[in-house]
Amino acid sequence: MMHHPDNWPPRDRRAFARLAVIGAGAWGTALAVTAVRAARGVTLWAREPDVAEAIARTGVNGTFLPGVRLPGAIRATCVLADAARMADAILLVVPSQHFRAACRSLADVLPGGVPIVICAKGIERGTGLLLEAVAARELPGSPIAVLSGPTFAHEVAAGHPTAVTVASRDVGAEGEASLAARVAVTLASQAFRPYVSQDVTGVEVGGAVKNVLALASGMASGLGFGANTRAAVITRGLAEIAALCEALGGQRETVAGLAGVGDLTLTCSSEQSRNMRYGMGLAMGRTPADMFDGRPVVVEGVENAVSVTDLARRLGVDMPICEAVRAVMEGMPIGEAMAALLDRPLRAEPRGIALDLPRPPGAADALPARVQEQS
Ligand SMILES: NC(=O)C1=CN([C@@H]2O[C@H](COP(=O)(O)OP(=O)(O)OC[C@H]3O[C@@H](n4cnc5c(N)ncnc54)[C@H](OP(=O)(O)O)[C@@H]3O)[C@@H](O)[C@H]2O)C=CC1
Ligand SMILES: O=C(CO)COP(=O)(O)O
C-alpha cells in the first residue's frame, strides 16, 4: 500500500494523552519511561503480579530492566482492564509468540477504536502472519501502527539519543490516516526521535528478520571470526530482508531505514543484543542460563528462525543465512551450517541471483579450522 498524495503528509497531529503499555519486559518498561519523558500519562501492565508489585513498591523493574530507576508517574498494574480502561492508545510489547494471546485478552477489556501500537518484533509461528495481521484479526476496529528501529532498552531508558520508525497505513477511516504521526508526536522528546512511515510491512519485516540474522552474527563471532564475517552477514542479511519485504508487498527503500539497516547493524554488532549473545554463546558451547545469568529474557530469533523461513519457503524467497540459523536451531552443528553457506555457488549482488560459474574448491579442509572443528 504505497503513497496516497491526498492524505500524505499526515494532517492529524494530536498527541495521545494517556497510554497503556502492555508488557513490562525491558522494552515495555523503557517505552513507559519514554512516554513519561514526553509528558504522557502511563500505565504499565505486567502479566506477573510480582513484577507489577515490585515496580510499584521499589520503583525498579529488577526482573527485566534492572538498574533503572523508573519515574514515579508510571503506574504499574497486573490487571489488564485497569490498564486498558483509561488509555487513549495502547503500546503492545509482548513477545511475538504470545502476541495473539495478548490481543485476545485485550479484546475483552478494550473499548472499540482505541489505537494499537505494535512494539514487538516477529512473525507468528504456524500462521506466518506479521503481527499487524494478528492484531487486525483479534482486535477488529482498532487502528494499528508499528514502532520499530535500533533501540536497546537500557540505552533508551538512560536517555541516549535514539531514532525509531513508526508506520501506519494511510488509508481508511479518518484518524487512522495519521496514526503514525500521532504516535510520533506522542512519544517524541529530545532524546527520542520517531520518523513516520507508511510502510507497515517493510518496518515489520526488518524487525522480525534482524533477530535471526543477529543469531548468525553471534555464531560467527562465537566461532572467533571478526569484522569481515560480520559485515558479510549484515550485508547479505540485508539482501534477505529486502527480498522478503518485497515479496510481502513492502518497499525496498524501507530496508535502508531505521527498522532495516539501522536495527540490523545495531543488533548484529553489539553484545547488548540478546540474539547476538545467544548465537555467540551457542558457538562457544554455553547454555542459555549461563548467557543471561539465569534471567528470563526473550530471544526472538529462536522462534523467528522457524517462522521467517517457513514464510520465505512458502513465498519462494531464498534466505540462506536465516535457513542456516534454523538448521542450527534444529540441531545442525554450527560449523556444518556455516560450511554449507560458504559452499553455495557464486552469485550476483545485490539480489543473489545464481550465476553459472565454477564452484569454489569444495574440500572440507579448505575451510578455516574453527569451522572444521565445529562440524
Ligand atoms: N529489549 C529490547 O531492547 C527491545 C525489545 N524489543 C521487542 O520487544 C518485545 C518484548 O521484548 P522485551 O521487553 O525485551 O522482553 P524481555 O526479555 O525483557 O522480557 C520478557 C517479556 O516476555 C513476557 N512474557 C513471557 N512469557 C509470556 C507469556 N506467556 N505471555 C505474555 N508475555 C510473556 C514477560 O512478561 P511477564 O512479566 O508477564 O513474564 C516479559 O514482558 C520483543 O518482541 C522484542 O523483540 C524491541 C525493541 C527493543
Ligand atoms: O530489538 C532490539 C534492538 O533494537 C533488541 O535486540 P535483542 O532482542 O537482540 O536484544
Active site residues: 210
Contact 276, 351 (CB under 8 A): no
Give the ipTM.
Answer: 0.98
Give the H or E element holding residue 148: strand 144-148
Kindly write down the DSSP assignment for every residue of 299-338, as one continuous string: -HHHHHHHHHHHHHHHHT---HHHHHHHHHHTT--HHHHH
Coil, helix or strand at residue 175:
coil
Residue 65 CA, closest ligand 1 atom number: 18
Grid coordinates of 1 = 500500500
Pocket test for ligand 2, best of 204, 270, 271, 274 (most atoms within 8 A of CB): 274
In terms of C-beta density within 10 A (0-12 exposed, 13-18 middle, 19 or more buried), how is residue 200 classed?
A: buried
Per-residue confidence (pLDDT) for residue 53, from 0 to 100: 98
pLDDT single digits (tens) 331-374: 999 999 999 999 899 999 989 998 999 887 765 555 667 776 76
> How far lies 61's CA from each of 177, 217, 289, 345, in Å?
35, 29, 20, 49
Cα(292)–Cα(259) distance, rounded to whole angstroms?
A: 25
pLDDT in tens, the chain (375 residues): 444 555 555 566 789 999 999 999 999 999 999 999 999 999 999 999 999 999 999 999 999 999 999 999 999 999 999 999 989 999 999 999 999 999 999 999 999 899 999 999 999 999 999 999 999 999 999 999 999 999 999 999 999 999 999 999 964 344 344 899 999 999 999 999 999 999 999 999 999 999 999 999 999 999 999 999 999 999 999 999 999 999 999 999 999 999 999 999 999 999 999 999 999 999 999 988 889 988 888 999 999 999 999 999 999 999 999 999 999 999 999 999 999 999 899 999 989 998 999 887 765 555 667 776 766
**pTM, full prediction:** 0.94
- The whole-angstrom distance between residue 362's C-alpha and the CA centroid of its chain comes to 36
Grid coordinates of 216 = 548468525
Per-residue confidence (pLDDT) for residue 75, from 0 to 100: 97
Rounded to 5 degrees, φ, ψ at 27 are -75, -40
Cβ of 263 less than 6 Å from ligand 2 = yes
Distance 29 CA to ligand 2 centre (A): 14
**Beta carbons within 10 angstroms of residue 64's beta carbon:** 23
Per-residue confidence (pLDDT) for residue 173, from 0 to 100: 43
Grid coordinates of 326 = 534454523
Grid coordinates of 265 = 547493524
Per-residue confidence (pLDDT) for residue 365, from 0 to 100: 58
Cβ of 122 less than 6 Å from ligand 1 = yes
Cβ of 330 less than 6 Å from ligand 1 = no
What's at 262, amino acid-wise? G
pLDDT single digits (tens) 65-74: 999 999 999 9
Cβ of 347 less than 6 Å from ligand 1 = no
Contact 177, 7 (CB under 8 A): yes
Per-residue confidence (pLDDT) for residue 4, from 0 to 100: 52
Distance 152 CA to ligand 2 centre (A): 6
Cα(223)–Cα(219) distance, rounded to whole angstroms?
A: 6
